[in-house]
């Protein structure tokens, strides 16, 4: 089972929409997938689920287990202040150590209103996942200018669609 993470806790985010789209594309490619939305994290998890409270918060554990238990992962990364949302890293800081992501394959998709498509956020997360011994697919897909490129639940740019398809094929195929 591939888990796709919508990497912000903002409600009803476009990251969530793009994650849903990605899920459909994975299923069209013949694999199983589900979406995990960080908007479902307990609002106080930075205290109630970290450090001395590690493992004590059932609702946090439920979300975390969907990510840690996945065979492969996708992160949809909106650009917040030149990187990905802090809440994603705080979530990761509540994961088991040694990492249950060790040896797993991960795909990254960066999205932004502006022209960048979040290359720095994808670079930063690659470093963090590398620390956890998870392997990020070389093809990191950027979706910039989201208002133009994401209309009515569909990617508008044919080249980006091709890249997403290529990324999904690699993710599904690799062990």
DSSP state of 50: S
| CA quadruple 96, 56, 124, 107: dihedral sign | positive
Shortest gap between Cβ of 51 and a second copy (angstroms)?
A: 5
Of 43 and 147, the one with the shorter C-beta distance to a second copy is: 43
- DSSP E strands in the chain: the ranges are 2-6, 33-37, 72-78, 105-111, 135-136, 141-143, 150-151, 154-155
Give the residue with the Cβ less far from a second copy, 33 or 94. 94
Q: How far is the CB of 118 from a second copy (least distance, A)?
A: 10
3 state DSSP class of 105? strand
Q: Nearer to a second copy by C-beta: 19 or 144?
A: 144
What element of type H or E holds 24?
helix 14-28
Question: Which positions lie near a second copy, rule CB under 8 A?
Answer: 9-11, 41, 43-48, 50-51, 80-83, 85-93, 95, 102-103, 115-117, 119-120, 123-124, 126-140, 144, 170, 173-175
> Shortest distance, CB of residue 69 to a second copy, whole angstroms?
18
* Rounded-to-integer distance, Cα 109 and Cα 135, Å: 15
CB of 62 to a second copy, least distance (A): 17
Q: Of 61 and 123, which CB lies nearer to a second copy in the complex structure?
A: 123
């Amino acid at each position: 089972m591939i888990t796709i993470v919508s990497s912000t806790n903002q409600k009803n985010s476009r990251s969530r929409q793009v994650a849903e789209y990605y899920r459909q594309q994975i299923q069209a490619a013949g694999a199983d997938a589900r979406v995990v939305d960080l908007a479902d994290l307990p609002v106080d998890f930075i205290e109630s689920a970290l450090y001395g409270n590690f493992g004590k918060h059932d609702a946090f554990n439920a979300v975390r287990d969907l990510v840690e238990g996945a065979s492969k992962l996708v992160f949809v990364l909106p650009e917040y202040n030149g990187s990905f949302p802090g809440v994603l890293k705080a979530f990761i800081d509540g994961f088991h150590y040694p990492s249950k992501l060790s040896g797993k394959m991960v795909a990254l998709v960066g999205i932004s209103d502006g022209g960048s498509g979040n290359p720095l956020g994808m670079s930063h997360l690659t470093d963090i996942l590398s620390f956890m011994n998870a392997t990020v697919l070389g093809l990191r897909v950027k979706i910039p200018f989201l208002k133009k490129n994401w209309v009515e639940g569909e990617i508008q740019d044919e080249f980006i669609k091709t890249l997403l398809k290529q990324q999904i094929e690699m993710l599904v195929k690799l062990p």
